[in-house]
DNA sequence: GCCAACGTTGGC
DNA sequence: GCCAACGTTGGC
C-alpha cells in the first residue's frame, strides 16, 4: 500500500464536502497535469491512503485522511463541453485524463498547517514536494516515513 | 490583489 | 528542438 497527498481548495471541494457525500466517496476529477495524472493512472491502488490538503485558503494545510476507493478510470468531465475542465483534445476513444475515486476516512484531530510542515523541510520532510517553494503538483507521493512523521505532529 | 514559480503552447 | 509568451497555481 502506498501513501499520497492530494490538494483541493476547500471553497470548491473540501474535506467536509467529501464526508457529506453518499458513501463518503467522490470522483477526484479535474486533474489536468500530466505528472499528477501519471501517478493516479499508473501507481494508485485501491486502499492507498491519502492526505487531504486544503490549498488556496486562509491557513493551507493537511486536514484529514482519505483512501483510494476505485483505481484510475477516464475522467468524463474532459469530454463535456459544459464542464469547467473540458478538454477538446481528450478523445473518448483514447482518453487523456484519468481520475480515481476517494473515500473519506477521518479528519485529523487538528489541522497541520503548511507553515508548520515547512519547519521540517530540511529535516524529516526533506524531499516532500509540498514543502518546496513553488511546488504546484496537486497529487504527490508521500513516503511511509514522511507519513508517520506528519501524523506524529497531529 | 500581488506575484513567483511552473507548465503548456505555438511560432520559428 | 528552442524558447518567448501566456495561463495557472497557490502562498502570502
A12 phi and psi, to 5 degrees?
A: -95, -55
Please state whether strand C lies within 7 Å of residue A119 at its CB atom. no
The predicted model scores a pTM of 0.94
A119 phi and psi, to 5 degrees?
A: -60, -20
Backbone region of residue A19 per phi and psi (left: phi > 0; alpha: psi in -120 to 50; beta: other values): alpha
Per-residue model confidence as pLDDT tens digits over A23-33: 999 999 999 99
**Confidence band of A68 (pLDDT split at 50, 70, 90):** very high
Between CA A137 and CA A38 the distance in angstroms is 12
* Residue A56 pLDDT: 94
**Chain A 53-92, CB < 7 Å to strand C:** 55-57, 60
Domains and CATH numbers, chain A: 3-152 (3.10.590.10)
Task: Estimate in Å the CA A88 to C1' C7 gap, whole number.
Answer: 17
Task: Estimate in Å the CA A90 to C1' C2 gap, whole number.
Answer: 27
Please state whether strand C lies within 7 Å of residue A143 at its CB atom. no
A86 phi and psi, to 5 degrees?
A: -55, 135
Between CA A124 and CA A131 the distance in angstroms is 11
Per-residue model confidence as pLDDT tens digits over A9-56: 999 999 999 999 999 999 999 999 999 999 999 999 999 999 999 999
Reported as half-sphere exposure (CB side, CA atoms, 13 A), residue A45 has a value of 5
Per-residue model confidence as pLDDT tens digits over A94-134: 899 999 999 999 999 999 999 999 999 999 999 999 999 88
Task: Estimate in Å the CA A57 to C1' B10 gap, whole number.
Answer: 34
Amino acid at each position: 500500500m502506498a501513501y499520497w497527498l492530494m490538494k483541493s481548495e476547500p471553497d470548491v471541494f473540501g474535506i467536509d464536502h467529501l464526508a457529506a457525500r453518499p458513501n463518503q466517496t467522490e470522483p477526484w476529477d479535474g486533474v489536468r497535469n500530466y505528472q499528477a495524472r501519471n501517478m493516479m493512472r499508473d501507481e494508485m491502488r485501491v486502499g492507498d491512503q491519502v492526505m487531504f490538503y486544503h490549498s488556496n485558503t486562509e491557513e493551507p494545510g493537511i486536514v484529514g485522511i482519505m483512501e483510494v476507493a476505485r483505481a484510475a478510470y477516464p475522467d468524463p468531465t474532459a469530454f463535456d463541453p459544459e464542464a469547467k475542465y473540458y478538454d477538446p483534445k481528450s478523445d473518448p476513444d483514447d482518453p487523456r485524463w484519468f481520475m480515481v475515486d476517494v473515500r473519506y476516512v477521518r479528519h485529523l484531530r487538528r489541522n497541520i498547517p503548511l507553515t508548520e510542515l515547512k519547519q521540517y523541510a530540511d529535516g524529516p520532510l526533506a524531499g516532500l514536494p509540498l514543502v518546496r517553494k513553488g511546488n504546484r503538483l496537486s497529487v504527490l507521493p508521500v513516503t511511509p516515513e514522511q507519513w508517520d512523521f506528519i501524523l506524529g505532529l497531529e
